[in-house]
Structure 1
Amino acid sequence: MALYRLGMDGGDRRLMKCIITLYQPCHLSTNQKPRTILSILTSKARHLNARYEQFLERKFPNFYTLYSTFMKGFRMVLLDGKEVHVIKKNMISQGLKYYQLPYREMEKLRQFRRDIIKAAPVMIISIPPFANYFVFVLMYFFPRQMLIRHFWTPKQQQEFLEIYHSMREEVYEDVLESLQIATSKVSEEPLHNNMVQLFTQVQNGVHPQLVDIEAIKAAFSGPPLCMTELDIPQMKALSRVMFLTPHLPGFFLKRRLRSHILEIWHLDTSLLQLGVDELTDEEVKRACYIRGLNSAHLGTEACRRWLSCWIQLSRDLEGKTLLYTY
């Protein structure tokens, strides 16, 4: 009635109703938040990246393989970093030492540390804008030397593990020769005879039995085969067997060898508690490879049997008898 008193016609009244409707309070759900600028930019970036990858895959398939491998590897490194951060946070909160961790967490820390040491130069290079293209050049020409396993294709992983094991095999003869020289210095006749017999079997291609190795472990608890008696060539050879750099002074070589062997021993102790049967097929093969067995051409069950024998031997060893036995 007030509208009629103001003398408004039908068109004016309709206009006024629209204005009143527009200015009525809106009751929006609290669950429907407006998209922020950051989320919009992120969505656009993902869309452009997807378009870019499709373009590379269509026009430059070889380069796309490198690009996708690099991006996947970078994400895997970040994921490993998050897992390691959680493990270390739990170690601090629970007051745990490295050797008190479960097997998988201990192995994660060990492998991540080795990966980061090798990958750090490449990751630093890739930080500046467009520098990641230089990393692609390194991936193409020096993938084994410059990159870690996260940035290898499945074919490269198998190929490079074979290369690394062949490099390890080249040193076995030197290690065995140094053992034979040291055997001549063992005064105890039964122990000396057992060592000579075992080395002869190995030279003839016979795989040693667990009981044969346990029979000579006393020789490594003192001269001439204990850690303090090793010379520089022996430590260099053992370092190459264990994928450690041999290009260090004698003191650091000895320190690294001791640290690495104790690390593997702690892993063995933790694995003994977990049980070899609890490992996945991939974990079993990786564990065998780390301990010196080329597991690429062996079945999973054969690897499990070998690893079980290794764990049994490791259980009966003491810290001072570890080095050459491993």
Structure 2
Amino acid sequence: MKLKPKAHMGLHQYVVERYLEYVKHYESAIERNFPRAFQIYKTFSVGMKDFLSDLRDYAKLTLTKPATSGGYYKMNRRESELCYQMPKHMLKMGPILILTALPFVSYGLFPLVVKYPRAFLTPHFWSVQQRIEFALKSHRKKLQFYQPVLLHLQALSEHMEHGSMKNECSKVISKLVYGVHPTIPDLLRIQGAFSEQGPFHLSHLNSAHITKLLHMHGITAWTCKRRALRKYGLMLLQVDSALYHEGIYLLQSDDLRKELFLRGVNPSNMSREKMLEWLESWLTLSQHVKPNILSLLLHSPIFLSYNHPMNWVPFYPSSMH
């Protein structure tokens, strides 16, 4: 039987409340029952505090702020990212929290999760250096799908009806192929191709294109792939809007790097000035994107960073010296 909205919200609130209550008592239980394992546990106790802090904030957002039709609208940058990421973090950490509370399990599990933090732990438990290292590994995987997605766009543009829109799309793609990025005005002239009537709208992309686009953004979705892309795109659109209004010049360096990785460019070795310049360009485009042309935003990592020199570093590091 399908749950009604109120019933579904009540169940969601119950799960979040129980999860939060469990984590609150988790640390004291481990210290009391497994003192030796707790010595290892101390190595990521700070991460647990950060995780708990985010969990509390997420619980407040979930339990006190009603969802809007857009899902993320009316939230600031951190709240939007938290509502998108925290359910995944809870799912990843849930088994670890349960298993390490069982007798004898923690003795073998704690060393394992400390040794392989990327596989078993969330970013709350990673050092600054690990966050950069893991983000770079993830980014390298995403970059492998940039060219396949561009080829899909190129194929679609070749089958467009002859006219000004086809010409503008061909110009944009040609620039990318020849090592140049299109300008923001170039991209605004082709935004109609990403509308519901255009060939680049999410609903018109074939399954292979959708799958590669998911991989390009590092999204895992076995079912409802278009819905997963739309959800991610709406989150990104809201974060962009929040950044635009809150300002980007007060962002900490760690947050600034994270925002660039999220949008498809490698910030390693980029100066703060260059990072801000690139993000400002992205936000200039994003402010013209509406939910009905969300596909434009989802393809923007290609339009704005396909030929960026820093995106070649993971493959040809020596060429940058």
Question: Scaled by the length of structure 2, what TM-score is found?
Answer: 0.73
CA contact (8 A) 2:80 2:235 kept: no
- AA paired with 1:242? H
Check the 8 A contact 1:295/1:303 in 2, yes or no: yes
Q: Work out the CA distance in 1 between the residues paired with 2:252 and 2:162.
A: 44
Structure 1 residues 199 and 69: CA distance shift in structure 2, 3 A: farther
Identity fraction in percent: 26
RMSD: 2.8
Partner of 2:200: 225
2:295 is matched with 323
Question: Which position in structure 1 is the counterpart of 2:234?
Answer: 262
Q: Equivalent residue of 1:111, what SS?
A: helix
Query: Quick check: 1:284 aligned with 2:284?
Result: no
Residue 107 of structure 2 is matched in structure 1 by 133
8 Å contact kept, 2:257–2:267: yes
Q: Distance in 2 between matches of 1:117 and 1:291?
A: 24
Other-structure match for 1:192? 166
Q: Which segments of 5 or more consecutive residues in structure 1 lack a partner in the other structure?
A: 1-41, 57-63
Give the letter for the 1:281 counterpart. S
- Specify the structure having the higher radius of gyration (Cα): 1
TM-score by length of 1: 0.72
- Please state how far the C-alpha of 1:257 moved relative to its aligned partner: 0.9
> In 1, distance between residues paired with 2:108 and 2:209?
39
Residues 130, 205 of structure 1: CA spacing in aligned structure 2 closer, same or farther, 3 A cutoff? farther
Hey, what does 1:11 align to over in structure 2? none
Q: Which residue matches 2:265?
A: 293
Q: Secondary structure at the match of 1:224?
A: coil
**Contact in 2 for aligned 1:149/1:157 (Cα 8 Å):** yes
Aligned partner letter, 1:228: S
Asked whether the 8 Å contact 1:185–1:224 carries over to 2, the reply is no
Higher RCO (C-alpha 8 Å, min separation 6): 2
Provide, for residues 130-173 of structure 1, a one-character-per-residue CA deviation record: whole Å limited to 9, x for no partner.
42333334325643233211222333322211110000000111
Q: Supply the AA of the counterpart residue of 1:260.
A: Y
Decide whether aligned partners of structure 1 residues 153 and 267 sit closer, same or farther in structure 2, where only a CA change above 3 A counts. closer
Q: Does the 8 A contact of 2:81 with 2:235 survive in 1?
A: no
Q: 1:149 aligns with which of 112, 123, 126?
A: 123
Letter in 2 for 1:236: T
CA 1:135 to 1:212, structure 2 compared with 1: closer, same or farther past 3 Å?
farther
- How far, CA to CA, are the matches of 1:313 and 1:108 in structure 2? 24
Q: Secondary structure at the match of 1:139?
A: helix
Q: Distance in 1 between matches of 2:126 and 2:75?
A: 29
Aligned pairs, number: 265
Q: Secondary structure at the match of 2:159?
A: coil
Aligned residue number for residue 253 of structure 1: 225
Q: 2 CA distance for matches of 1:257 and 1:268?
A: 16
Q: Distance in 1 between matches of 2:129 and 2:71?
A: 37
Q: Is the 1:171–1:241 Cα contact (8 Å) retained in structure 2?
A: yes
Aligned residue for 1:91?
65
Residue 158 of structure 1 aligns to which amino acid in structure 2? I
What is the one-letter code of the residue matched to 1:78? L
CA contact (8 A) 1:276 1:304 kept: yes
1:188 and 1:268, CA in 2 relative to 1: closer, same or farther beyond 3 A? farther
Identify the match of residue 218 of structure 2 among 243, 247, 251.
243
SS class of match (2:144): helix
Q: Cα–Cα, structure 1 residues 219 and 209, in superposed 2: closer, same or farther, change >3 Å?
A: same
Which residues of 2 match residues 108-123 of structure 1 at below 5 A? Answer: 108-123=82-97
Alignment of 1:48-127 (within 5 A): 67-91=41-65, 98-127=72-101
Task: Point out where structure 2 has 5 or more consecutive residues left out of the alignment.
Answer: 1-27, 299-321
Looking at structure 2, the residues matched to 141 and 133 of structure 1 have their Cα atoms a distance apart, in angstroms, of 13
Q: Secondary structure at the match of 1:296?
A: coil
1:215 to 189, 212, 215: 189
Rounded to whole Å, the distance in 2 between the matches of 1:133 and 1:156 is 24
- Deviations for 1:19-63, whole angstroms, at most 9, x for unmatched residues? xxxxxxxxxxxxxxxxxxxxxxx8xx79x96x998xx6xxxxxxx
Deviation at residue 97 of structure 1 after TM alignment: 6.5
